[in-house]
Structure 1
Amino acid sequence: MFQNLSMTFSRLALLLTVGVLASCGGGGLTSTGGNAGSGSGSGSGGSGGGLSFSMGDLNGDWTGELIPDNRALIKRNVYIRVANGQLTDSAEGGGGDWDPSNASIQLDFNTQGFLDLAIESMLDDEDMSLEGTMNVALNQINGTVRILHADGTMFEGTFELRRSTGAGHFTIGLAEGVWQGQGSNSRDRFRVAAIEFDRDGVVVEAEVVNPGSSNTVHSYSSGAGSLVFADDAIGRIDNVVITGDDGSTLTFDFLLINDAGTLISGPGVDSTLGEGRVELTR
């Protein structure tokens, strides 16, 4: 299998550039704080057809992807959880992790199905805003996203959220197979990554490679770590530890997987490379 991973790294090396992460500048996000709005605003965009939406249509779990305008970047996972018209939990694969205890949240959803969500961290962490419209089937929201990182860089793009069916919506079998992508540390130095999981979410093998030199930074053998859902309604996996053959550890605060089984992302710490994040696709 390592031969296949090596071929994967060769292809990725043609696509990734060492040390540079394109980012957009910009001002901060605006948030008025407080609890969720009543959804009685005039709205815009709408879904047409005379359908009138209510805040109850937004209640539940929504998971999906953030798609960057800058195509040099990779998609990220995202979810929001709404209960009784209030955002109770949200996270995105770049490291943002919010709830009412650590963030000021403004949520509005009007009768035309327009969502306006602003999250401002109280921990000098990431801020996120989403603006989008729900479809008439009440199971999908599409729109635009802005994330202001703690270092002042900006992620801008579009998003798609799909309604989760609740507990059991995600199964660990979604992770089975080979994933490829990149990890970057706080200095935006890239490392190419490939990892294979079995049907139970256990690591089969993995490698992290310096794309500039093609040297292996870390290799991981069968059983080096495993994935277990902390919440299978939103595809969240917490406290993942993967141990390298060299004794190094790769620890993820959380990982998110999408319901198509095509994207994994999340923040973590490599014991030798430092803090960073990973985005894996297939």
Structure 2
Amino acid sequence: MGGDRILPSVRLSPPACRRSGAPPDVLTTLAHPWRHEALIRILAWREISGRYRGSLLGSLWPLLTPLLMLGVYTLVFGVIAPTRWPGAQEQGIGMFALRLLAGMVVHGLLAEVLSRAPTLVTSQPNYVTKVVFPLEALGWVSLLTALFHTAMALLVLIVLNGVLGTGLSWSLLALPAILLPYALLLLGLAWLIAALGVYLRDLAQLVGPLVMMTMFLGPVFYPRQAMPVAAQPWLAVNPITIPVEQARRALFEAQWPQWDVLAQYSLVAMAVYLFGLWAFSKLKKGFADVL
């Protein structure tokens, strides 16, 4: 990867952490996104550009994919098998498809990050055994790559909604605030799954079905109100529920997010982020022996 030119700049320097009296590895990993920002940016861009290298349409695919998804959802859920969504008939098939696409875009971020997580470390054994490398950066690279595709899909969705749907509103400015805690939560889960995946290879087989469960047990194909009243509180346990609902609120209802709900979600997301980072920093000490 041209690592001889990059890796010397990312060697860890823990003395400052020792002076603070805190565990060196924990403070180092907390600081690594800023200390290794250039490395993370280079690897993320290489991942994005490499995915479409050699394809006929190249960089147009991140924009075309959500359009293809929208067409499929409109056909399947609006024409072939109409679903029960409050107000769907009044708003039309197109509006229903846009709401469905919004849920799929938010879930797609989770799917891309967590599906790669079990093999995030095991697929890069040279980074573990042969070079000095900040392994936590792999989680950031995976997240940034997924965020790029999510941003492209959201851009298409916003334009289509502006032209064919409910229009544009100032509440769209809240989308970064909605996605930020969601991204941190996913990064924490990715670190945790990646670390456990080194020791438990069965996780690679388990994560796929779990990712699919989050889609069907979340408000992607139906709103929370369509579920039985007794089951509705449990829907909040799904990590995509709050981001999907708040994103739709900002996109289609021209309303700002429910800040109290988003604040509670952010606290949980930060706890998951910190726990995943702590677990990864502890478990990575044995990666070289396993790999």
Normalising by structure 2, report the TM-score: 0.24
Q: Indicate the structure (1 or 2) with the bigger Cα radius of gyration.
A: 2
| Structure with more of its chain in helix, by fraction | 2
